[in-house]
Amino acid sequence: MTGWIKLHRSLLEWEWYEDINATRLLIHLLISVNYVDKKWRGEEIKAGSMVLSWSTLSKGTGLTVRQARSAMDKLEASGEVTRNVTNKYQVVSLVKWEKLQGDIEKADKQNAIKRADKWQTNDRQATTTKESKEYKEIKEIENTREQNFSKYSAYDLIQKEKPTSLQAFEMQKKKLVPDWKKLLENFENKIELELARNEIKFEAEELFPRFKGYVNTWIENEQKSRENQPKIHAPEDPSRNIPIG
């Protein structure tokens, strides 16, 4: 990841500065939020804001979900962030983003103008190419950040922590599940909803049994659905009922 942020000295006076988890979360948000307004699934996410789930936040900070929740509560109570929460994700906004970071783009533009006044025409062409490359790299970083909000974050954790057990289980059930993508999407939605309600910890030891149970239930429901479908009989051949002689 490229680019930089400003870190104001007033952070030293923040009431939660000595709380390692709270400070770590605040700095993580500072370097992760959008630097410009952008669209996400039809919704405009402002500069200084980002879309996240507890699972992706846990991965990004190295904190447990419980630690991340506790740290976020402190940031929210102290007026550093606001949150717009749904049952699947949340939009977190840094209240002081514009004040602390908003003039970075303006300063960059002013510096670019000063440099351009001194450069020769050929140097300007090289600069334009370089700035275009830097802009492309920044956009790629932003796109990667969106992709990191994975539909399968819970599944990915199981895959990382229990690859052998997961592979063996999937090989056993593979032929019984015609649409794994749909199953994984529904499983992830279920886990995210439970996380939002504080019902579970996001740990592979608990997730893997839940995943196996979910797959088995899914297979049972699919089998029942097929069994309950009305059977279609071929029409009887009328010629078979014509008497002979």
Per-residue 3-state assignment (H helix, E strand, C coil) for the chain: CCCCCCCCHHHHHCCCCCCHHHHHHHHHHHHHCCCCCEEECCEEECCCEEEECHHHHHHHHCCCHHHHHHHHHHHHHCCCEEEEECCCCEEEEECCHHHHHCCHHHHHHHHHHHHHHHCCHHHHHHHHHHHHHHHHHHHHHHHHHHHCCCCCHHHHHHHHHCHHHHHHHHHHHHHHCCCHHHHHHHHHHHHHHHHHCCCCCCCHHHHHHHHHHHHHHHHHHHHHHHHHCCCCCCCCCHHHHCCCC
Q: Is residue 52 part of a domain?
A: yes
pLDDT of 93 reads 94
Q: Are residues 40 and 115 located together in one domain of the fold? A: no
User: Which of 33, 65, 98 is a domain's end point?
Assistant: 98
Q: Are residues 16 and 90 located together in one domain of the fold? A: yes
pLDDT of 150 reads 44
Please give the residue range of the domain that contains residue 123: 104-147
Q: Are residues 141 and 191 located together in one domain of the fold? A: no
Q: Is residue 237 part of a domain?
A: no
Rounded-to-integer distance, Cα 54 and Cα 59, Å:
9
pLDDT of 149 reads 38
Total count of domains within the chain: 3
pLDDT tens for residues 187-232? 888 877 776 666 556 676 778 888 899 999 988 888 888 787 776 6
pLDDT of 185 reads 84
Q: Is residue 89 part of a domain?
A: yes
The CATH number assigned to the domain holding 34 equals 1.10.10.10
Q: Is residue 143 part of a domain?
A: yes
Encode the chain (245 residues) as per-residue pLDDT tens digits: 567 788 888 889 899 999 999 999 999 999 888 888 888 888 888 988 999 888 889 999 999 999 999 999 999 999 999 998 877 678 999 998 887 776 555 555 555 556 555 655 555 555 566 667 666 655 554 454 344 434 457 788 888 888 888 888 888 888 888 888 888 888 888 877 776 666 556 676 778 888 899 999 988 888 888 787 776 655 665 555 555 55
Q: Is residue 91 part of a domain?
A: yes
Q: Are residues 38 and 74 located together in one domain of the fold? A: yes
